[in-house]
Structure 1
Amino acid sequence: MTQRTAPQAPAADRTRARTGPRYLDPDAMAVTAFVLGLVGLLVLNLVLGPVAVVLGSLALGRRTTRPGRARLGIALGVADLVVLAWLVTADNTWSWSLT
C-alpha cells in the first residue's frame, strides 16, 4: 500500500511566504520611539525628534500594548525639538554648541 502525502507548494510560493512584506511590530515601534527620543536629547535632535514623534504616533495608531512608552516617545521627540529651538535661539545660529 502506498502512502499519500500532502501536495507541496511550489518552491516559489514557499520562499514568498518567508520573504514577503514584513510589518513593524507596534510594540517595537513604541520602544524605538522612546529610545530615539531619549538619545535625541543629547545628539541629532533635529533628526531623532521627528522620527520619535512619527514612530510613537504609528505605534499608538496600530494599538500597541505599550501606549505609555509610545506617548513618552512622542513627548521626548517634542522635547528634542524644544531643546534644539532653545539652543539655537541662545546661540543665534543653527550650529549650536554647549561651549
Structure 2
Amino acid sequence: MHLTAPATGQVEAKPRPRDADGMAVASFILGLLGLLVLNLFLGPVAIVLAGVSLWRGTSRRGRAYLGMALGVADLVVLFAAMQFTDTVSWSL
C-alpha cells in the first residue's frame, strides 16, 4: 500500500496495482497446480486471490479470470474423482 494525502489533510491508502497483478498471477499458478495436488486447499485459495485481484483493479484481468476458472475446475475435478472412486479422497 502507498499513502496519498489529498487536499483535505486526510491520508488515503490505495493498493498498488503491482500487488493486484501478483495476486492474479498467483491465482493462475495455484489453480493450475491444484488440478494435480491439494484440490481442496488450492482451489478456494485461487478463487479468493482472483476475486481480490479483480476487486483491487488488476491490469491482468484475463489471468485473474483464468485463475478463478481453474480454482473452480479444481473443486469440480475433486468432486468428480470423489464420486468416481466412492471415497472422500483421491489419488493419481
TM-score by length of 2: 0.79
Aligned residue for 1:97?
Answer: 91
Alignment of 1:34-49 (within 5 A): 34-49=28-43
Structure 2 residues without counterparts, runs of 5 or longer? 1-14
How many residues were matched structurally? 77
Structure 1 residues without counterparts, runs of 5 or longer? 1-21
**Structure 1 residue 38 displacement after superposition:** 0.1
Helix, strand or coil for the counterpart of 2:90? coil
Q: 1:52 aligns with which of 46, 52, 58?
A: 46
Which structure 1 residue ranges, 4+ long, deviate > 2 Å from structure 2? none
CA RMSD of aligned residues (A): 1.6
What do the CA deviations read for 1:40-72 (whole angstroms, capped 9, x no partner)? Answer: 000000000000000000000000010000000
Helix, strand or coil for the counterpart of 1:43? coil
Decide which structure has the larger Cα Rg and report it. Answer: 1
User: In the alignment, residue 67 of structure 2 is paired with which amino acid?
Assistant: G
Helix, strand or coil for the counterpart of 2:84? helix
Percent same amino acid at aligned positions? 61
